[in-house]
Amino acid sequence: MINSKYFLQGILASKKFDSPAIALGASFVAIGALLKNLGFTIQESIFSTLLTYALPGSLVMAESMLIGASLVNIFLAVWLVNSRLYPMTVSIMPLLKHESQPRWKYYLSCHFVAVSSWLILKSNYEEIERKYRIDFWIGIGTATWLVAIFSTILGYYASDFFNRDMIIALAIINPIYFMCAMIGVMKTVQLTSAILLGALLGPIFYFISPEWSVLIGGLVAGTISYFIGEKYGS
């Protein structure tokens, strides 16, 4: 069973004043408004957030459905966009694994991997006993997931009060928060080089291939930073 004490601690960690969940909520308000403007019903909008739980993935799914893409194409597009979550999963699983915990907890918690929940865990995991970190993580994931769902509902019904610029502003709050948070942890050569190279290469690759610029820029920057860290220390 999930340890209720650490599960609750995870929920409370997500509700702090400086929590990334606040930025996440603002972005999903924009998603709710956007989905309504695209013709989605409230049920479809909620179901989208229930399953996708990722801002870029939700945007890609909505746009793909709008142009009449097949389910296979939508699946592949969302999968590719959300592939950025793989490195996050790899980075946190060693922090969560404990031989006494059942596998189903880890399978369940995979759905909760997102930028916001990842940041909350990375900021708090050292305070939690290793055995119960997975319960703490499930609490974080549940809280941020519910924030996303309720924010989608709020945005859907408040969409008439938003103009296009307001929706765009809300949508980019979460990426901006993440960028600021990453700048705040530039304490190693590896992290510093990854952030600076990503900021430099992203715009450069945009002129080469706008559709692939973020993915290629991140891949190249991360790879170079990995070898820099290996040579000069992490």
pLDDT of residue 194: 84
Let me know whether 195 and 166 are in one domain: no
Which pTM value belongs to this model?
0.76
In a domain, 179, yes or no: no
Same domain? For 94 and 68 the reply is yes
Same domain, 218 and 165: no
Residue 181 in domain? no
Same domain, 101 and 202: no
The confidence score (pLDDT) of residue 234 equals 54
- Is 104 within the bounds of a domain? yes
66-104 pLDDT tens trace: 778 888 888 888 888 788 788 888 888 888 989 889 989
The count of domains in the chain is 2
Domain check: are 194 and 133 in the same one? no
Residues 64 and 139 in one domain: yes
Tell me, yes or no, whether 14 and 92 share the same domain. Answer: yes
Q: Which among 200, 182, 195 is positioned nearest to 229, based on CA atoms?
A: 195
Structure tokens at 115: 């930028």
Q: Is residue 185 very low, low, confident or very high in pLDDT (cuts 50, 70, 90)?
A: low
**Position 119 confidence tier, pLDDT thresholds 50, 70, 90:** confident
pLDDT at 184: 62
196 & 166 share domain: no
Alpha carbon distance 191, 197 (integer Å): 10
Average pLDDT over residues 120-141: 90
Q: Is the pLDDT of residue 156 over 90?
A: yes
Mean pLDDT within 98-112: 88
Range of the domain at 207: 186-234
CA 117 to chain CA centroid, nearest Å = 7
